[in-house]
Structure 1
Amino acid sequence: MGHPFPGLEPLIPADAVLEKLADGTAWGEGPVCLDDGAVLWSDIPGNRVLRWHPQEGLGVALQPSEFHNGHTRDGAGRLYACSHGERAVLRSDDGGRGWHAIATHHDGRRLNSPNDVIVARDGGVWFTDPPYGLIQSKEGHGGEQQQDGCWVYRLDPHTGEVQAKVRDMRWPNGLAFSPDETTLYVTDTSRTHDPAGHHHIRAYPVSGHTVGEGRVFAVVAPGMPDGIRLDEHGHLWSSSGSGVQVFAPDGRRLGEVPVPETITNLTFSHLEPVLYLTGSSSLYRLSVSVRGARF
């Protein structure tokens, strides 16, 4: 028999099997791995954060959650979340039991509905801000968009200033850095509400806090490139309507992990070579042969 995932032989073991760990979400997003082996992820319409643990199984970590979406960790292990309900980026210093807002406004106006977040090595918090929590009644409280656009921001960890770093995308969604932090990848999912909208991934050169002119890195179909992550060698792993699509650093599509539902987000475990996937209704696990980049 051939490899179960053609084109991905160096990245996934030949005996790897996609495992469904839990289901029952209305729309799952934002998985993040904890030091005890648990995975947290969001059920946005359910207004809750779920927790799966290898020994303890499935449970509810937070409800109501103010419509958490994306999650991440920083180098110190602190948790971050994007809240549609609070229109804010949140941080937890106690493993997800308590949360406080660290970014709520830009230029004196409320953010739209922060969607996904990553933390760079220097502590800068980068996040996307499309309008989904404003325009979808099941994913937020609604409200008026106060920002002039939907941008990618950086929160300075020392001053607390929120600066718009990418302004040339319609609805930025998922984001991730290359392993060396010289490239920022951002997905645009504006096609969700506009047939003429985008479903691609853009790449931006980064030098310090300066972001250069972007380019289209890859177009993802079917579906959208919602969440993305990179492995230690710079391969980009993207969600899509048919599974997880994997791209080489030069943008070539290498192959796909088929999944029987729309994949929304994904994350590499920092404890073992494992990839966790959130689908529209389920949480999956897949053994891999690579480690994830930290972002």
Structure 2
Amino acid sequence: MHRNFKNALAFSALLLASTALYAQIEDKRGIVAKDAELVKVQDGFTFTEGPAVNRMGDIFFTDQPNDKIYKWSAGSNKVTLFREGAGRSNGLYFQLDGTLIAAADLNNELWAIDQNTGKETVIVPSFKGKKLNGPNDVWVRPKGGLYFTDPLYARPYWEGIRTPERQQDGEHVYFLSADRSEFFRVTEDLTKPNGIVGTPDGKNLYVADIGAKKTWKYDIQDDGYLTNKTLFCEMGSDGMTLDERGNVYLTGDGVTVFDKNGEKIAHIPVPAKWTANVVFGALDRKTLFITAMDAVYTLKMKTRGVW
């Protein structure tokens, strides 16, 4: 078969697949860009997680089983290795000063990583003298301080380091103050908290209890404590993000979107068994970046992400 004909057939197949995928997108409020296609940026990973966006719109994400952090450059659409030996980092989030906060699962710690040098500092080694279960996802609030979830997912690489049993008396959410002088629990009644994200005004926090298949909304107090726990939706999530309209994006089976009132308004299918996390990237924050098993994807959106 002639090479050009082969290429034409391949292109036609790709176009049909993209068209079919777009036709499957459920979008009641017009949040996805017209004729947008889900683009596979790169595959060959083992399990991608923790996407975090910096000021330039570049996204850092993890390949946790391979102990690496990668960087997706928004301008070039290229993926490069940022750091090898990343403490088996899972969730990531940038502080306003450019410091990358990482849920380092190897020794159940929270790290602060210099974005320029890659050097890490352990900022949370334990809680009340005991190791954490396994810090998972992180959100940094605008006025400083951060929240992270601490579920238990026993890891094969813990062998020889620690026992796979739960270290704390439950699976909770924690708050660390901006000056790192205060560190305390803010929830103690969840089954397995995982995804976490807050509103850009710093007033509300969403926590996905993946074990109970629910997502909760809280009011954030100035001192970091949470009040007014309210059921947001009957769905848990691995990771999550928000857009400028207040829509909440949950993961697992593709990406499912709920409006600020908890009504399902969209579903974006992803060709993977599991979608772990999601964030908005690029300078205009209109590129949805999705981590899904062995690959990462992008999708052009009408809505803009918040950061």
TM range (shorter): 0.7 to 0.9
Aligned match of 1:284: 297
User: Conserved in 2, the CA contact under 8 Å of 1:136 and 1:142?
Assistant: no
Q: Measure the CA separation in 1 of the matches of 2:293 and 2:255.
A: 13
User: Conserved in 2, the CA contact under 8 Å of 1:179 and 1:234?
Assistant: no
Taking the TM superposition and a 5 Å limit, the aligned residue runs for 1:5-154 are 5-35=25-55, 37-53=57-73, 54-55=75-76, 57-95=78-116, 97-132=118-153, 135-138=154-157, 141-143=161-163, 144-154=165-175
1:293 and 2:306 correspond: yes
User: Conserved in 1, the CA contact under 8 Å of 2:56 and 2:283?
Assistant: no
**More helix as a share of residues:** 2
AA matched with 2:145: G
The 3 A distance-change label for structure 1 pair 202 and 52 is: same
> What displacement does 1:217 show?
1.4
The 3 A distance-change label for structure 1 pair 187 and 14 is: same
Q: Measure the CA separation in 2 of the matches of 1:235 and 1:263.
A: 18
Aligned match of 1:173: 194
The 3 A distance-change label for structure 1 pair 24 and 8 is: farther
User: Conserved in 2, the CA contact under 8 Å of 1:275 and 1:287?
Assistant: yes
> What displacement does 1:146 show?
2.8
Aligned match of 2:255: 244
Moved more, 164-173 or 138-147: 138-147
For structure 2, the residue ranges without an aligned partner over 5 or more in a row are 1-18
> What displacement does 1:138 show?
4.8
> What displacement does 1:9 show?
4.2
**Structure 2 residue matching 1:175: 3-state secondary structure:** strand
Q: Indicate the percent of aligned positions where both proteins have the same amino acid.
A: 28
Moved more, 256-265 or 85-94: 85-94
User: Conserved in 1, the CA contact under 8 Å of 2:143 and 2:202?
Assistant: no
Q: Measure the CA separation in 2 of the matches of 1:56 and 1:270.
A: 10
Q: Measure the CA separation in 2 of the matches of 1:68 and 1:83.
A: 4
**Structure 2 residue matching 1:106: 3-state secondary structure:** coil
Q: Measure the CA separation in 1 of the matches of 2:50 and 2:213.
A: 19
AA matched with 1:217: F
User: Conserved in 1, the CA contact under 8 Å of 2:106 and 2:157?
Assistant: no
AA matched with 2:280: F
Aligned match of 1:216: 231
Backbone CA RMSD of aligned residues: 2.3
**Structure 2 residue matching 1:278: 3-state secondary structure:** strand
Moved more, 52-61 or 117-126: 52-61
The 3 A distance-change label for structure 1 pair 58 and 112 is: same
From 258, 269, 279, the equivalent of 1:258 is 269
Aligned match of 1:232: 244
> What displacement does 1:247 show?
0.1
TM-score, normalising length from structure 1? 0.87
> What displacement does 1:131 show?
1.3
User: Conserved in 2, the CA contact under 8 Å of 1:127 and 1:153?
Assistant: yes
> What displacement does 1:69 show?
0.2
Aligned match of 1:195: none
For structure 1, the residue ranges without an aligned partner over 5 or more in a row are 191-197
> What displacement does 1:276 show?
0.5
From 199, 212, 219, the equivalent of 1:205 is 219
Q: Measure the CA separation in 2 of the matches of 1:179 and 1:270.
A: 18
Aligned residues: 281
The 3 A distance-change label for structure 1 pair 83 and 103 is: same
> What displacement does 1:36 show?
5.1
**Structure 1 residue matching 2:151: 3-state secondary structure:** coil
AA matched with 1:275: L
User: Conserved in 1, the CA contact under 8 Å of 2:98 and 2:115?
Assistant: no
User: Could you say which structure has the larger radius of gyration?
Assistant: 2
User: Conserved in 1, the CA contact under 8 Å of 2:41 and 2:77?
Assistant: no
AA matched with 1:150: E
Aligned match of 1:160: 181
User: Conserved in 2, the CA contact under 8 Å of 1:27 and 1:281?
Assistant: yes
AA matched with 1:286: L
Aligned match of 2:13: none
